[in-house]
Amino acid sequence: MGLSQIDGEDLDNERKSIEKLFKYSDTFDSTVFNSGAGSGKTYALIECLKYIISCHREDLKSHNQKIACITYTNVAADHIKQQLGVSDVVEISTIHERIWSIICNQKSAVLSLHIEKLNNEIELINNQLSSKPDYEKYRELNSSLQTHFLQLMYENKKKYNMAYNLNAAGFKAAMPKEVHQQYTELISNVSKFKGLVDKLFKRKRYIECLQKIENGEKDYKEVYYDAMYNRDRLDKMRISHDTLLEYGYKLIEKYPRMRQLVIDHYPYILIDEYQDTADIVVKIMNIVDQHAKKIKHDIFIAYFGDSVQNIYDTGVGTKLNQLHPTLSNVFKMYNRRSYSEIIDVANSVRNDEIVQKSIYSDSGGGSVKFYYGKSEEASEFIGMCAKKWNAQNENTLHCMFATNQLVAEYSGFSKVYEVFKRAEVYQGIGYKQLNTELLSHDTVHLGKSQSLLFRLMKLYTEVRDERQPLRDIFPTDKYRDMSFHDLKLLITSLKSLDGNTLDELLIAIFNEYDTSNNQMYKLIIERIFDADEEVSYDGVLRFFLTSLYKTWDETLETKLIIQELLNMKIVELLNWFHYVHRNEKKKICYHTFHSTKGLEYENVAIILGKDFGQDKGLFETFFKEYGKSVDQISSKYEKGRNILYVAVTRAIKNLRILYIDDLEEIRDSMEKVFGKIYEFSNGITKEEF
């Protein structure tokens, strides 16, 4: 069977690293627990939680204190909750949820920061209006004409919004005569005109929001955060994930009382997958830690992770000790995930001071083979892997690609990928964001348009699932006041919304929205589309346009510009939704390298080339620089190493790799890492493979 017998001496040695961690928690010596993939970092974190609970539960309860456990994703938080079990002294959550729980009751201080941010945004808009070439004609107007122009456009806001998606000629024709008579120079360039009006409307919303805050109006007395949305609606008092961290940092940096609050309430803070954590979070922890030392209060902050598994540009990675100095170190050498054959390859890829060995004495029996071939042989290669390991729904083959396009193609949403790939915001350096904003399994990181589509497909799926609880479908508890009859009619109405394409679905939704008197239906739709202005079909088209394009052809209507998006098939959007939602009960699952982070699979196939998406020559550079001294390797080498290390260490038992580019220059390095290299051919048998 394998991975079932543990040598007593190895178990004792492993236990010593855990006990060292316990010792640091006893002495409140903040630390970093470093270990390679599959070593049981989460296991060590959970053991540390259990130890602190067993030693200090009653003391924590008597002082109304908690242990904070912070994770990178909700999936990780749920996993730790499941492994730990119920505890009345532990709070497990993502960093956003924990920061919000700390600052949300500081309503006055958060409101002050919000006022400051609104004023900063207004100042930013004013600076743009006074300096950007696009607004030169506006600057030529005197102040009274500028005021009159805004007043005129605001009075005609509905007409403006309805005309927004028309082509330039249609848009001009829809504007009031007074605009043409008095502001001919402004309307001459429709794109600049829209940009100007949008800026003026936004500034007006912010100014009015400040006035409502000052007047103490009902919905403007406090700021709120909703994890479902990843964009600021400052004028509606709602902040995004990034702004939440910004507010949290500023409060803790500015007010000693806030630091004291954190120290008093959370004497133990454990952070999972530290390498993926944003710099600002580590800065917050360092401020809290240093303040605790200054006032001679006890706090234990422990980071669990591995800098070599840092594959996100936003993660702290190797900068941890720079941003939070004087941390003690605990290393763990044992691997609890994989067979020795996998571990040996992973050690070779990593090629640093952390060399793992299996904790199990019966860890032999895994299988690793490296093949080279052609890109057109990838499908046959995957098929051979599935055949070799008898892949089925309960024994899934997990296949990783180095390109997003192939993941989308094999997962059944290639057209969805192509549409977003061609959008202007993902051209050039913007392409790097496409992987995160379209393919991330953590919906916090989806782009604006993708987040809207995800919410729409979620509703589409949930109303058709009879097992889905109503509380997950409806945005508030207001449905509890509805009669069973009305509730049934509402569900029937939502189920009836359908279409072959996104456009057909949107038309159906807004035809019902415009004619329905059902306030719950309207509320659901408003929550899904989250519009700055009124909720409408035209408003959604405008949202897609401005989210995906910076400039566009004024002679075309919006619908023509985003026609490809509107023509996306619902079946492909559902395939994309299920991919993001990790519906993995199938014979073969396809992944990007990034999306498998933190996961493990019995059987893994990797399709590898010299490039990694737009990172040209990334893996080729890794192999070319392999074995060189630290001062001779490039940042490209480190990035390639980290990504490849994460990929190969997902495998528990079986791993096959197909390299689809020329390897002659790097063959020797490849063999140092993977051993013998085989040619993939049609004649290969299941037994040979």
pLDDT in tens, 86-137: 999 999 999 999 999 999 999 999 999 999 999 999 999 999 999 999 999 9
Q: Are 497 and 512 in contact (CB under 8 A)?
A: yes
- The beta strand positions in 232-386, using DSSP E, are 238-239, 268-272, 300-305, 328-332, 334-335, 357-358, 367-372
CATH class (in words) of the domain with range 357-402+593-679: alpha beta
| Residue 186 token pair | 């402004």
Does 681 have pLDDT greater than 80?
Answer: yes
pLDDT at 475 over 70: no
In angstroms, the CA 631 to CA 174 distance is 64
Helix axes 502-515, 570-580, angle to 10 degrees: 90
Question: What is residue 401's DSSP assignment?
Answer: E
Tokens describing residue 275: 């390498």
Contact criterion met (CB below 8 Å) for 507 and 497: no
Cα–Cα distance for residue pair 96/31, rounded to 1 Å: 22
Query: Which of 82-91, 458-467, 523-532: highest mean pLDDT?
Result: 82-91
Confidence at residue 476, expressed as pLDDT on a 0 to 100 scale: 64
E strand or H helix at 224: strand 224-225
The domains spanning 17-102+247-334 and 357-402+593-679 adopt the same CATH topology = yes
pLDDT in tens, 1-23: 689 999 888 899 999 999 999 99
> Binning pLDDT at 50, 70 and 90, where does residue 37 land?
very high
Amino acid at 153: M
Checking if the pLDDT of 583 tops 80, the result is no
**pTM as predicted:** 0.85
pLDDT at 557 over 70: yes
What is the arithmetic mean of pLDDT over 58-78?
92
The rounded mean pLDDT for the chain is 92
What burial letters (b/e) apply to 199-233, b meaning 16+ CB within 10 Å? bbbbbbbbeebbebbeeeeeebeebebeeebbbbb
Give pLDDT, residue 582. Answer: 86
What is the C-alpha separation between 238 and 235, in angstroms, rounded? 8
User: Can you tell me whether residue 398 is helix, strand or coil?
Assistant: strand
Query: Residue 324, CB half-sphere, CA atoms under 13 Å: how many?
Result: 30
Architecture of domain 17-102+247-334: 3-Layer(aba) Sandwich (3.40)
* Count of C-beta atoms within a 10 Å radius of residue 109: 17
Residues 6 or more apart whose Cβ sits within 8 Å of residue 181: none
For the chain, percent helix, then strand, then coil, each to nearest 5? 60, 10, 30
- The pLDDT > 90 percentage for the chain reads 75
Count CB atoms within 10 A of the CB of residue 126. Answer: 12
* Section 427-439 average pLDDT: 83
Over 70: is that where the pLDDT of 477 sits?
no
pLDDT, position 487: 82
- C-alpha to C-alpha distance for 476 and 590, rounded to whole angstroms: 35
d(CA 400, CA 439): 13
pLDDT score, position 563: 94
* Structure-model confidence comparison of residues 90 and 493, the more confident one: 90
**Greatest Cα pair distance in the chain:** 90
Residue ranges covered by each domain of the chain = 17-102+247-334, 107-215, 357-402+593-679, 414-581
DSSP 8-class letter at 399? E
